[in-house]
Amino acid sequence: MIAEPTADLLAGDAPWPDDAESPAAGDATLQRSAGLYRVNWPGMALEFRALDTSGHAVYALAVAHAGDRVLPETSLNLTNDKARQALAVAIERLRPGPDWRARVDDAARLVLGAYREGEPAVDLAELPQAIASEPWLVAPLLVRDEPTILYGDGGTHKSRTALLLAGTVAAGRSLALGIEAPTLAGCVIYADWEQTARVARDRLADLCDGRPPSGVVYVRCARPFVHEAERLGRIAMDSGAVLLVLDSVGFGLAGSGNDDDVAASYFRELRGLGLSSLLIHHTPKTGDPTRPFGSAYWTNGARLAWQMQATAGTARDCALVTLTCRKRNDGPLLSPKGLSYTFADGRVSAFLGDAAPPDDADMDRTAGNLRHLIRRALNGRPRTVAELSTELDAKPSSVRTVLNRYPDTFTHGEGGQWEVRA
C-alpha cells in the first residue's frame, strides 16, 4: 500500500524521463496567473504554486480540489513518478472513480511545459491590429491591458476616483459625465491596504444613487502586494476579473518605495496577473511634486500616469480636482482634465471636463468643473453673471469666460441673464 503523501515522499528524487508516455490531457484546461498554475476538469482542479528548480527537478506546492473537498497543500516534485503516484492515491480517497494517476500526470506535464517554455514567441507581423490606436478600458483615464497610475497628495479623492472607475467597468456603463462607458465590462478586484469594505461600499453606493453595481470584489490586503499577488490571481481566475485596482501602492510594498528593485518586482508580479490595472499612489513630501513618491520605476512601469491636485476656491458641496497627464506611452500627453464631485442629499455626482489652460490666471478653478457648476445653477433658473458669481463664490471674470467659451451649452437672454441652451 502506498502511504499518505509526505514532504519526503512527494519530493522524491527519481527523475521523470523527458520521453515518458502520458495519457492525453483530454478535457483538462490550464490557467496561469502570477506564478499560480491551475489545471481544471469538470468538478475538480489541481493547483500548483511556488515552482522552483533544483537540478533537473521542479518542485511545487500542490492543492487538490475535488468537488467541495480540498486536499491540504503539500510539497510535490513534479518530475518524480513516485511523488505523482502518491498524490493521485491521496486524491482518490477524496473522490474515487476517475483515473487520478493519469490526471496528475497530465497536470504535471501541462504545468511543466508552461513553466519551462514561458509565453510563446510571436511574429509581430502576424498579430491582428488593435481596434483603435490606443486601447482604452475607460477613456480618457484608464488604458486597457496595461498599468495606469493615479497619484497625488492626501485628500485629492484618489480612492473615490478609483471606485468611480471600478464601478464604471463593473456596471458596463458611464457613471459620470465626461467619462466614457468601458470598452470591456466585467468583474473588478479592489485590493485595499487602507480603508475597509464598508467604507468602500458606501463610497461606491454614493456614486451610483445608492445602488452599487455588482461585480466590484473587495479584497482586504495585509501583506505586501508581491506576497498577495498569488491570492489575487486566484480570485481573478475564479471571478473572471478584467481590472485590478491597487489602493494604495505605498502601503503594499515589501521595502522602500525609493528602491528600484522593489518597484521593478512590483511590476513583474503585476504583469504576471495579465489584467488591466489601476495603481493608486502618493506624492513625496519633498522633491518633485509632479512625480509619484519613490523610484522612477513607478512612472516608468505605468503606461499612463495622472497627477491629481486639489483646486482652490472649492464650494462647500463640491470638490474640484485637476488631473494632469504626466506620461502616456501611446501618443502625446493628454490635455489637463477637471474632475468635480458634487455632494448633495447623501449622493455624489461626478463630472469630467477639460481644465483651463495653465496660463489663464483669471480662472481660479478648472473650466470644465466651473462649467458643470454653472449648468447646475442655471437648471430652470436664468441668472446674471453677478448672481452666478455670488452663488458659486467664483470671480465674475471666470464665470463670464466659461459662459462665452461654451456657446453650445449656454445662451445669453434678456436682461443680461444666462440660461442653458435647449
Tens digit of each residue's pLDDT (9 = 90 or more) over 324-338: 999 999 889 999 999
pLDDT of residue 391: 84
CA 142, 319, 410, 176 torsion: positive or negative?
A: positive
The verdict on whether omega for the bond into residue 248 sits within 30 degrees of 0, i.e. cis, is yes
As a whole number of angstroms, the distance between CA 314 and CA 276 comes to 33
pLDDT of residue 313: 53
pLDDT of residue 360: 36
Phi, psi of 194 (to 5 degrees): -115, -55
CA-based nearest residue to 48, from 69, 71, 17, 76: 76
Q: All domains of the chain, ordered by start, with CATH?
A: 7-117 (no CATH), 136-310+324-334 (3.40.50.300), 367-420 (1.10.10.10)
Q: Which tens digits make up the pLDDT trace of 84-131?
A: 999 999 988 888 888 899 999 999 999 999 888 887 888 888 887 765
- Name residues whose C-beta falls within 8 Å of residue 42's C-beta, 6 or more positions apart in sequence: 27
pLDDT of residue 369: 65
| Candidate from 175-189, 215-229, 255-269, 387-401 with smallest mean pLDDT | 387-401
**Regarding predicted confidence, which is higher, 136 or 410?**
136
Q: What is the CA radius of gyration of the chain?
A: 27
Confidence category of residue 356, pLDDT binned at 50, 70, 90: low
Instruction: Provide the mean pLDDT of the chain.
Output: 85
pTM: predicted TM-score of the whole model, two decimal places: 0.73
- Percent above pLDDT 90 for the chain: 53
DSSP annotation string for 129-177: PPSSSS-EEETTTEESSSEEEEEESTTS-HHHHHHHHHHHHHHTS--SB
**Regarding predicted confidence, which is higher, 226 or 72?**
226
Confidence category of residue 20, pLDDT binned at 50, 70, 90: very low
pLDDT exceeds 90 at position 217: yes
pLDDT of residue 21: 35
pLDDT of residue 26: 60
Q: Which tens digits make up the pLDDT trace of 280-314?
A: 999 998 878 899 999 999 999 999 999 999 986 55
As a whole number of angstroms, the distance between CA 132 and CA 276 comes to 17
pLDDT of residue 277: 98
Average pLDDT value for residue range 210-214? 94
Half-sphere exposure of 237 (CA within 13 A, CB side): 22
**Which cell goes with 275?**
489584467
pLDDT of residue 194: 96
**Regarding predicted confidence, which is higher, 192 or 9?**
192
Question: How far, rounded to the nearest angstrom, does the alpha carbon of residue 284 sit from its chain's CA centroid?
Answer: 23
Q: Three-class SS string for 355-373?
A: CCCCCCCCCCCCHHHHHHH
**Regarding predicted confidence, which is higher, 366 or 278?**
278
| Candidate from 126-135, 184-193, 275-284 with smallest mean pLDDT | 126-135
pLDDT of residue 403: 84
Confidence category of residue 24, pLDDT binned at 50, 70, 90: very low
Diameter over CA atoms, the chain? 99
Q: Which tens digits make up the pLDDT trace of 151-172?
A: 999 999 999 999 999 999 999 9
As a whole number of angstroms, the distance between CA 194 and CA 12 comes to 44
pLDDT of residue 145: 94
Amino acid at the residue 132: A
pLDDT of residue 1: 29
pLDDT of residue 366: 45
pLDDT of residue 363: 37
